């Protein structure tokens, strides 16, 4: 059997929603996958991923082992790999979601979406990137006594998202090590209240509410030091109409939200390419800015034997 799999990049946290909220963005990795007699072969795969420990293959093996199934031989060919590695845009989550969905298709398991969610979350360890990678859209996830659970939400169409991606990596493990085990009660309240505002603002299309919501005290204060240009990029985005700028996932990519782009904002966005050069003159790292619509499809696996 052969398949075509497409999986979106994701941005987790979105300010106050640490380890629980995420959104899928239209930045894609796409692969052709065929069955082999045995083992694994890779074609065109990002060298950072191309070995027997490839996270997509490991995720396929995880599902096979969970169901006591034999390991199928896999030929994995990258068609497109747009999601940068170790930048806070969910490259690992994408590999995990693609792997779990492929195992589901390869073995004809027809697993319900809640089971897929639990498999991807167990592999990743937290659900905030894997959930939107799997389902698309805006997701709020938690771990309950019965396993992981996700509520899917649709962000209002008035919002536009931009990512500023620097030319350096921050491994998630390193960025998580910086976080304190305990937090002051006022910081917990700060985030709790803003998480409610974030979801209300994003789904109701309320930029004023969102402006107040895009503030975090659980991870950004500790991680900013890994991103020396944080304030410069945030100011640059604010001057061009951004409602707010936050660290995307564990960073170092920054996520900015824009709303109701009027003529003036549209003109400013058109000028972003030229202005990017100005920003880069001021910054320590080199930044690339991309405007990305929300992806509403999540991971799709198509059987190409029928084409």
Residues that bind ligand HSE (CB under 6 A): 12-13, 18-19, 126, 128-129, 172, 175-176, 219, 249-250
CA atoms within 13 A on the CB side of 251: 23
CA distances from 185 to 166, 191, 192, 221, 242 (A): 33, 10, 10, 16, 30
Q: Tell the smallest beta-carbon distance from residue 131 to ligand HSE (Å).
A: 11
Specify the residue, 14 or 243, whose C-beta has the smaller distance to ligand HSE. Answer: 14
CA distance 112 to 143: 18
Q: Tell the smallest beta-carbon distance from residue 217 to ligand HSE (Å).
A: 13
CA distances from 21 to 10, 100, 140, 209, 289 (A): 10, 21, 5, 17, 22
- CA 292 to chain CA centroid, nearest Å: 12
Q: Tell the smallest beta-carbon distance from residue 151 to ligand HSE (Å).
A: 17
Specify the residue, 29 or 129, whose C-beta has the smaller distance to ligand HSE. Answer: 129
Specify the residue, 40 or 128, whose C-beta has the smaller distance to ligand HSE. Answer: 128
Q: Tell the smallest beta-carbon distance from residue 176 to ligand HSE (Å).
A: 5
Specify the residue, 13 or 191, whose C-beta has the smaller distance to ligand HSE. Answer: 13
Instruction: Count CB-CB contacts under 10 A for residue 215.
Output: 17
Specify the residue, 25 or 269, whose C-beta has the smaller distance to ligand HSE. Answer: 25
Specify the residue, 91 or 259, whose C-beta has the smaller distance to ligand HSE. Answer: 91
Contact 101, 301 (CB under 8 A): yes
Backbone angles phi, psi at 20, to 5 degrees: -135, -35
The C-alpha angle with vertex 78 and arms to 76 and 83, in degrees rounded to 5, equals 125
CA distances from 91 to 95, 207, 213, 224, 271 (A): 6, 29, 26, 21, 29
Three-state secondary structure call for residue 16: coil
Q: Tell the smallest beta-carbon distance from residue 35 to ligand HSE (Å).
A: 31
Specify the pairing of strand 73-81 against strand 40-43.
Answer: parallel
Q: Tell the smallest beta-carbon distance from residue 233 to ligand HSE (Å).
A: 18
Specify the residue, 81 or 128, whose C-beta has the smaller distance to ligand HSE. Answer: 128
CA atoms within 13 A on the CB side of 243: 26
Q: Tell the smallest beta-carbon distance from residue 300 to ligand HSE (Å).
A: 22
Specify the residue, 143 or 176, whose C-beta has the smaller distance to ligand HSE. Answer: 176
Q: Please give the order of strands across the beta sheet that includes 244-247.
A: 244-247, 254-259, 159-166, 287-292
Q: Tell the smallest beta-carbon distance from residue 122 to ligand HSE (Å).
A: 15
Q: Tell the smallest beta-carbon distance from residue 22 to ligand HSE (Å).
A: 8
Specify the residue, 12 or 255, whose C-beta has the smaller distance to ligand HSE. Answer: 12
């Amino acid at each position: 059997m052969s398949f075509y799999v497409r999986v979106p990049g994701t941005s987790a946290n979105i300010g106050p929603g640490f380890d629980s909220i995420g959104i899928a963005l239209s930045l894609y990795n796409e692969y052709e996958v065929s069955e082999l007699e045995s083992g694994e072969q890779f074609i065109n795969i990002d060298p950072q991923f191309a070995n027997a420990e490839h996270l997509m293959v490991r995720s396929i093996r995880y599902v096979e082992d969970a169901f006591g199934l034999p390991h199928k031989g896999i030929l994995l060919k990258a068609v497109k790999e747009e999601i940068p590695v170790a930048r806070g845009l969910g490259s690992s989550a994408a590999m995990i979601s693609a792997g779990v969905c492929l195992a589901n298709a390869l073995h004809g398991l027809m697993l319900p979406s809640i089971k897929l969610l639990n498999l991807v979350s167990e592999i990743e360890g937290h659900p905030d990137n894997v959930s939107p990678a799997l389902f698309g859209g805006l997701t709020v996830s938690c771990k309950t006594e019965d396993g992981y659970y996700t509520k899917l939400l649709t962000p209002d169409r008035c919002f536009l998202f931009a990512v500023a991606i620097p030319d350096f990596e921050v491994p998630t493990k390193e960025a998580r090590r910086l976080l304190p085990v305990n937090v002051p009660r006022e910081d917990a309240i700060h985030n709790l209240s803003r998480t409610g505002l974030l979801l209300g603002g994003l789904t109701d299309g309320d930029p004023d509410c969102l402006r107040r919501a895009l503030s975090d005290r659980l991870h950004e204060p500790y991680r900013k030091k890994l991103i020396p240009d944080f304030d410069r990029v945030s100011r640059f985005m604010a001057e061009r109409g951004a409602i707010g700028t936050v660290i995307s996932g564990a960073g170092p990519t920054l996520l900015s939200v824009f709303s109701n782009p009027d003529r003036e904002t549209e003109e400013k966005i058109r000028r972003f390419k030229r202005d990017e050069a100005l920003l880069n003159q001021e910054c320590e790292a080199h930044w690339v800015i991309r405007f990305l619509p929300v992806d509403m499809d999540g991971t799709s696996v198509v059987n190409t034997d029928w084409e």
